Amino acid sequence: MAGYTYRNAVMFQHCDPAGIVFYPRYFEMINEVVETLFRDALRWPFAEMHVRERMGVPTGKISTDFHAPSRLGDVLDWRLVVTRIGGASLDATVSAACAGEARLTATLTLVYVDLEAMRSVRWPEDKRAALAQFMEDTP
Amino acid sequence: MAGYTYRNAVMFQHCDPAGIVFYPRYFEMINEVVETLFRDALRWPFAEMHVRERMGVPTGKISTDFHAPSRLGDVLDWRLVVTRIGGASLDATVSAACAGEARLTATLTLVYVDLEAMRSVRWPEDKRAALAQFMEDTP
Amino acid sequence: MAGYTYRNAVMFQHCDPAGIVFYPRYFEMINEVVETLFRDALRWPFAEMHVRERMGVPTGKISTDFHAPSRLGDVLDWRLVVTRIGGASLDATVSAACAGEARLTATLTLVYVDLEAMRSVRWPEDKRAALAQFMEDTP
Amino acid sequence: MAGYTYRNAVMFQHCDPAGIVFYPRYFEMINEVVETLFRDALRWPFAEMHVRERMGVPTGKISTDFHAPSRLGDVLDWRLVVTRIGGASLDATVSAACAGEARLTATLTLVYVDLEAMRSVRWPEDKRAALAQFMEDTP
C-alpha cells in the first residue's frame, strides 16, 4: 500500500470537555505524522533541518474535513500520501481512521524555506527522491 | 464594518523553534475567536452550552491559507464574518492580520450538535438571529 | 529495576523559540507517563476511568526541578516510582533523562476522586496492589 | 496591594474530559503571567529578550499546590509576588483565585540565561530595580 503510515492513541491531553478530540490537537498530530516521516523515512530529523541547517517546512495551506469525532483511548491509523512534489513545495493528503472508520481527511501544502530569509528553496534532490516513494502509484 | 472582531498577542507558548507561530496554535486562537463570539456577542458561554445544555458546536471542516508567518509579540487583529446560517450549521470566514498585513484566512463550518447523541440540532431562533448580525452586508 | 519506565522523543510541538522544551509541555509528558502506567500496567485506561466510571486522578500537588534543558530530537527516558500509597492518594517521583543525563525530577501527589462529587474515594484493592509493584524495593 | 496582578478566563482549550482545567494548561497560564509582567511592567517583551538579545528566563524549579479545580468559564485572578532577587535568578509566588476562592499556589525560580551558552547572567540593574517593586512590603 502506498503512503506513509503512523499510529497513535488519543490521550487525555487531546480531549475537550465534550470528551472528544479538541480539533486543534489533530493538527499537532498531523504535524507529528509529517515530522516522523521526515525523521524516519527521509532520515532528515527536524532538529537537523531547523537547528543546524536553519531550514523549515511551514504549512502553506491545509484543508480538513472531520468525518466523525474521536474519543479518549481511540487508536488512530494515519496515512500520508504525497500527491505532488513541486520545486520547493509538497502537496499531501493525510487521513486518520479508527478501526477502519474514517475520522478526518486533510490536504496540505508544505513549503521548504530558508528560515532566516523566509524564502522558498528548491528541495535537495535526494530528499525529493525519498519523498516520491510516498506517492500513490498511478495505474 | 461587518463581522466580529477580536485581538490577541502572539505569546511565547504559541511559537516554535523557528520563532514563528506553530500553526496548530492558530486553530486554538480561531477556537478562541468563536468561543468569545458566543460568550460576548451571543451571551451563550461555552460553559452553559457544553456543561449545562450538553450541546456543542464542533468544527465540521476548516480550510486555512497561511499568508505570512507571525512572530512572538505580534498583535493579531481577528475578524469573523458569518457567510451562511443553515438549519443546524454555520459557515464563517475567520481572518487574522498584523498591522494590516494578512496572516491567515480560514473558512469553516460549525455544526450545532447534541453531545450525547452526536446528532445535529436546529439552532434556537434567538441564537440564529444573533448570529445573523455578523453576516456581511449585501449591497 | 523498580518503577515504571516510558520513553518518548522531544518533538517540534514541545519546543519554544529558544529551541528547548517549553516547560508546560513537560507536564503533558508527565501526565502521559501516568496515563500510560494506568493503561498498560494497571489495565485501567483513562477512558474507562473517566468516561465510564466518572472517576479521575487529578494532581493535588507537584514539585519539579529542571536540571538541564531538553532539545528537539532528544529521546527522553522516563521513570515513575511510587513512594507512598494512601487511602485515596498516591505519591510518586517521576524523572526524565536523556542518554543518562538528568533533565528533570518531579514529585507529585495524585488523588483518586469521584468526578461528580469532586470527593476523594478509596482506591479499589486490586488497583492498590497493582500500584504497589512500582514502589522502590526497601532493603 | 503588593505584587503583579493579571486576569484571564478558563477557555475551552484549557479543559479536559473531566470538565476542569487540565493542569499542564495552568503552567501555560503561569508563563503568561510572567511574560506579561516582563512585557507590561518591565517593558522587556520576550520578543526583544529572546529574539534580539538571545537571552531567556527558563524556569529552574516550580512547586505547585492545586487547592480546588477550575471550570470552563471561571475568571481567574492571578497574583505574582517576587520573594527574592538573586544575582541571576528570581524567586516568586504565583497564585490564582476565582471569586476569592484559592485555586493554586506556585513557588518558582527563574534564571536569567544566555541562550547560546545556556549560562546564567547577572540581571541588568534597571530590570532588577523594576522587579523589586513586585516584592511584598516588609513591615
**φ, ψ for residue A28, nearest 5 deg:** -65, -40
What average pLDDT does this structure show over A37-43?
A: 96
Burial of D77 (0-12, 13-18, 19+ CB in 10 A): middle
Q: Which residues pair with B42 in a beta bridge?
A: none
Specify if A61 maps to a domain.
Answer: yes
What average pLDDT does this structure show over A118-131?
A: 96
C31 interface with D at CB cutoff 8 Å: yes
Instruction: Enumerate the H helices of A1-121 as residue ranges.
Output: 23-36, 46
Cα nearest neighbour of A118 on chain B: B69
Which chain C residues are closer than 8 Å to A31 by Cβ? 11-13
Which chain D residues are closer than 8 Å to C22 by Cβ? 31
pLDDT of residue A1: 52
pLDDT band at A51 (very low <50, low <70, confident <90, very high): confident
Specify if D139 maps to a domain.
Answer: no
Which A residues, 59 through 98, put their C-beta within 8 Å of a C-beta on chain C? 71-73
Q: For chain B, 139 residues long, give each residue's pLDDT as a single digit of tens.
A: 589 999 999 999 999 988 899 999 999 999 999 999 999 999 999 999 998 899 999 999 999 999 999 999 999 999 999 999 999 999 999 999 999 999 999 999 999 999 988 899 999 999 999 999 999 865 4
CATH code for the domain in which residue D43 is found: 3.10.129.10
Query: Which residues are within 8 A (CB) of B20 and not within 5 positions of it... i.e. 6 or more apart?
Result: A58, B69, B70, B71
Q: Return the residue in A12, A16, A36, A37 with the most chain C beta carbons within 10 A, the one to mutate for interface testing.
A: A12
pLDDT band at D119 (very low <50, low <70, confident <90, very high): very high
* Residue D120 in this model has a pLDDT that exceeds 70: yes
pLDDT of residue C124: 97
Q: Using CB atoms, which residue from B12, B13, B17 is nearest to C12?
A: B17
Task: Write down the residue that cell numbers 507571525 correspond to.
Answer: B70
pLDDT band at D138 (very low <50, low <70, confident <90, very high): low
First to last CA, chain D: 13
Specify if B139 maps to a domain.
Answer: no
Are A51 and C19 inside 8 Å of each other by CB? yes
- pLDDT (tens digit per residue) in A25-39: 999 999 999 999 999
Q: What is the residue range of A58's domain?
A: 4-132
Specify if A137 maps to a domain.
Answer: no
pLDDT of residue A136: 84
The answer to whether A78 touches A94, Cβ cutoff 8 Å, is yes
pLDDT of residue D121: 97
Average pLDDT, chain D: 95
How many distinct structural domains can be found in chain A? 1
pTM, two decimals, is 0.96
What average pLDDT does this structure show over D1-20?
A: 92
Which chain B residues are closer than 8 Å to D55 by Cβ? none
Are B115 and A18 inside 8 Å of each other by CB? yes
D15 interface with A at CB cutoff 8 Å: yes
Q: Return the residue in D13, D21, D59, D116 with the most chain C beta carbons within 10 A, the one to mutate for interface testing.
A: D59
Specify if D137 maps to a domain.
Answer: no
Extract the C-alpha cell encoding C84: 507512598
The answer to whether D59 touches B41, Cβ cutoff 8 Å, is no
pLDDT of residue D18: 83
What average pLDDT does this structure show over D57-83?
A: 97
Q: Using CB atoms, which residue from D12, D19, D22 is nearest to A13?
A: D22
The answer to whether B46 touches B39, Cβ cutoff 8 Å, is yes
Specify if C138 maps to a domain.
Answer: no
Task: Write down the residue that cell numbers 530528499 correspond to.
Answer: A127
CA torsion, ordered D132, D135, D137, D139, to nearest 10 deg: -100
pLDDT of residue C138: 54
Distance CA B58, CA A70 (A): 12
- pLDDT (tens digit per residue) in C65-74: 999 999 999 9
Average pLDDT, chain C: 95
pLDDT of residue B138: 54
C25 interface with D at CB cutoff 8 Å: yes
CA angle B10, B12, B17 (to 5 degrees): 105
Are C66 and D59 inside 8 Å of each other by CB? yes
Are C27 and D23 inside 8 Å of each other by CB? yes
pLDDT of residue A18: 82
pLDDT of residue D41: 94
DSSP string, C53-96: S-EE--EEEEEEEE-S--BTTPEEEEEEEEEEE-SSEEEEEEEE
Burial of A89 (0-12, 13-18, 19+ CB in 10 A): middle
The answer to whether D11 touches B50, Cβ cutoff 8 Å, is no
